Amino acid sequence: MTMPKISVIIVNYNGKTLLEKCLESLFKVNYDNFEVILVDNNSTDETVDFITKNYPSIILIKLDSNKGFAEPNNIGAKIAKGEHLLFLNNDTIVTPNFISELVKIMENDTKVAICQSLLLKLDGSVDSSGDFIDNLGVVYNSKTKTDEIREISSARGASMLVRSFIFKKLDGFDKNFFVSFEDVDLGWRTWIFGYRVFLAPKSIVYHLGGTTIKKIKSDIAFHGFKNQLSMKITNFEPHLAIKNMIKFFIIYGIRELKIWFDYKIYGKTKLSSTKYENNIASNPSFKIIFNSIWWIICNQKYLTRKQRKVNSTRKVSTKQLEKMNILCEKYC
């Protein structure tokens, strides 16, 4: 197997404790040809001093404010020298062959543009084996433990390898997402552009779950909802975007009310709901939904511009993606 250069990009905000474990495992991998770029979101802990002192080989980019997840990764990608970009969360512990297993799949098929590691929790249960998107643009996280190298709708940004030239052609992550679903949007646009997204089940990464995310749950719920709405507008063809948005609000509006009612009465729901439906339903949700819709209204110029670009480079239609089961009738 050839060993193309890999640029590992890690975004950090006040994650020194998490980074210690992540970097310790990363520098024990059995793949030699890689560089590490750490983009720091203006941390107030000792992260920068820790990196400077203990990992002088790491390329450190210090930002003057917290710019979320999408834009810092784009900033790191701009200076990356690797043939492939490996986006890795700071709250991960990697296994020795996780890079080589990702590269193996990419090298075997030039149409594979993105490849995700199998993400596990510390107890060995599955955190994510890929995301799937239904034909209304709703995203579901698969937690199926599998040994099968398989197509997925999109890869999780906690550990995913992306061909550098494809990332650049697609203008990288959408910085307007700030955080949440930027990886799903990239995967969806990758399929539209005529390339494929895969799961590499032998590339094992343990995902701990960041403390920063837990502290800003309401912000994540807002960005998650408005980013899902954004994707429906930009990634469907224009005539389907309106139709599917109406269907979404009818079908999932009813589901949302049922989930909200279940949480209020029983403290849980029996419905198989998405992560962000649970997040919104278990919090005061109407403010989040209103703010998300208002954001969409105020950002029509940006959404129209992105929609035109996506469709001007479209090589695979929504109907074709449905036939390929990349956009499913229901959760795959």
- The proportion of the chain whose per-residue pLDDT surpasses 70, expressed as a percent, equals 90
Q: In this predicted structure, what is the pLDDT of residue 284?
A: 47
Q: Given pLDDT bands bounded at 50, 70 and 90, which one contains residue 266?
A: confident
Parallel, antiparallel, or unpaired for β 112-120 and 159-163?
Answer: antiparallel
CB 18 within 8 A of CB 89: no
Query: Three-class SS of residue 277?
Result: helix
**Whether residue 295 has pLDDT greater than 60:** yes
Half-sphere exposure of 266 (CA within 13 A, CB side): 9
DSSP states of 35-62 as a string?
A: EEEEEE---SSSHHHHHHHH-TTSEEEE
Residues for the chain: how many in total? 332
Report domain extents, the chain.
Answer: 6-214, 216-314
Q: Given pLDDT bands bounded at 50, 70 and 90, which one contains residue 251?
A: confident
CB 180 within 8 A of CB 224: yes
Q: In this predicted structure, what is the pLDDT of residue 272?
A: 53
**Whether residue 63 has pLDDT greater than 80:** yes
Structural tokens at position 218: 């309401």
**Whether residue 327 has pLDDT greater than 60:** yes
Top CATH class of 6-214 equals alpha beta
Mean per-residue pLDDT, 260-281: 62
Structural tokens at position 149: 């190298």
Full-model pTM: 0.91
Average pLDDT score over the chain? 90
Query: Three-class SS of residue 111?
Result: coil
